[in-house]
Every structure is written in C-alpha cells, then in structure tokens.
C-alpha cells in the first residue's frame, strides 16, 4: 500500500488538447498530442497509442488527465513531456480519461 503523501507526489492535471499530429515514425500507430494545461504549466506534448478510437477531429478541444511531473521521455524522434491517462477497453483499445464536466485547464486532481 502507498500513503496519501505518496499519491500526492504524482501531479495529475487536466488539460485541453489543442493540436494533434500524425506520428508515422512510431513503432505502433500513435498520435502526437499538444495539451494546454493553463498559464502555470503551458502547452505540453505527448504521444499516445490511441488511433483505434480517436482521430484528430474528435480529439481537438477534448479535456484529458495527464501526469505532468514525470521526466521527459524520448519516443523515437519525439520528446514526450507528459503521460496522458487512459484505460483499456475490452479490445485493448485505449480510452482517454477526462472530466465529465468542463473544468479549468491546469486543475490538479485531488
């Protein structure tokens, strides 16, 4: 078990996807996401293997949750700065996690 203090070390925040690009260099089909976490954090980028359920058109404007305090990770030629959160459905496609109502970008999960 972990303590609450351990849990709050993981900085999970909400952000709005403002741009999406194809990522043809990825080993598995993926998209590059550019997520606005508000004025304190700004726009951060990540790659996500979500092409089974999502397209650029249905991602732009969507609010998602992401871990913002992991170190950047090199993914091929792309530097991923945050880890967007998702769950696997019954066919192992990733379903993004986000609020069910509009909240300010940058809000911390508590």
Structural domain boundaries in the chain: 4-96
Q: Could you give the CA distance from residue 27 to residue 42 in angstroms, rounded to a whole number?
A: 28
* Mean pLDDT score of the chain: 96
The alpha carbons of the chain give a radius of gyration, in whole angstroms, of: 14
Q: Could you give the CA distance from residue 41 to residue 103 in angstroms, rounded to a whole number?
A: 16
Give the pLDDT confidence score for residue 28 in this predicted structure: 87
Contact criterion met (CB below 8 Å) for 20 and 34: yes
Q: pTM of this prediction? A: 0.94
Q: Could you give the CA distance from residue 89 to residue 28 in angstroms, rounded to a whole number?
A: 18
pLDDT by residue (tens digit) across 17-40? 999 999 988 888 899 999 999 999
**Terminal CA-to-CA distance of the chain, rounded, Å?**
18
Q: Could you give the CA distance from residue 84 to residue 54 in angstroms, rounded to a whole number?
A: 14
3-state SS class at 6: helix
| pLDDT per 10-residue tile (average), the chain, 110 residues | 94 98 89 97 97 96 98 92 98 97 96
What's the CATH class of domain 4-96?
Answer: mainly beta
């Amino acid at each position: 078990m972990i303590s609450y203090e351990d849990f709050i070390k993981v900085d999970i925040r909400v952000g709005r996807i403002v741009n999406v690009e194809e990522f043809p260099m990825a080993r598995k089909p993926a998209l590059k996401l550019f997520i606005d976490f508000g004025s304190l954090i700004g726009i951060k980028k990540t790659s996500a293997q979500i092409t089974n359920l999502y397209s650029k058109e249905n991602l732009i404007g969507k609010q998602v949750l992401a871990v913002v305090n992991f170190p950047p990770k090199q993914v091929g030629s792309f530097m991923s700065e945050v880890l967007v959160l998702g769950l696997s459905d019954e066919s192992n496609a990733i379903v993004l996690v986000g609020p069910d109502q509009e909240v300010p970008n940058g809000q911390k999960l508590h």
